[in-house]
Amino acid sequence: RKEVEQDPGPFNVPEGATVAFNCTYSNSASQSFFWYRQDCRKEPKLLMSVYSSGNEDGRFTAQLNRASQYISLLIRDSKLSDSATYLCVVRGNFNKFYFGSGTKLNVKP
């Protein structure tokens, strides 16, 4: 079983839509959680850390559910520029970071 699993998508949504991604992780002892964004042929860029209480940054909201071992990312009012691959990243034992394979989002005009 993979440490981190994501639906690869693609999610095709119109501009202005709300879209949500989930990511599950297998290690209940995982310590930190992140969402990264990766554009085609570019390096991943940190989008936001995910805190136990949930956190919001503008149109982006991240939630952590430790009991069910998943994290989520909600994007409201999607923009064309939100089109990218969203990577779920989990820090596990021995400070190792585990990456999901990414969820591709296409925002259409």
Partner 1 sequence: GAVVSQHPSRVICKSGTSVKIECRSLDFQATTMFWYRQFPKQSLMLMATSNEGSKATYEQGVEKDKFLINHASLTLSTLTVTSAHPEDSSFYICSARGSGDVQETQYFGPGTRLLVL
Identify the residue among 32, 69, 72, 106 touching partner 1 (CB under 8 A). Answer: 32
Position 77, amino acid: D
The verdict on 60 binding partner 1 (CB under 8 A) reads no
Question: Interacting stretch for partner 1, rule CB under 8 A, among 18-26, 31-39, 61-69, 74-82?
Answer: 31-39
Strand segments, DSSP code E, in 1-109 are: 4-6, 11-14, 19-25, 32-38, 44-50, 55-57, 60-65, 70-75, 84-91, 97-99, 103-108
Q: 66 or 96: whose CB is closer to partner 1?
A: 96
Kindly state the tokens that stand for 15.
């501009």
Q: Measured from the CB of residue 16, what is the shortest distance to partner 1 in angstroms?
A: 28
Question: How many of the other CB atoms lie within 10 Å of CB of 45?
Answer: 11
Residue from the set 26, 27, 49, 69 that interacts with partner 1 by CB under 8 A: 49
Q: With binding defined as CB under 8 A, does residue 92 bind partner 1?
A: no
Binding site for partner 1 (CB under 8 A): 32, 34, 36, 41-46, 49, 87, 89, 91, 95-97, 99-102
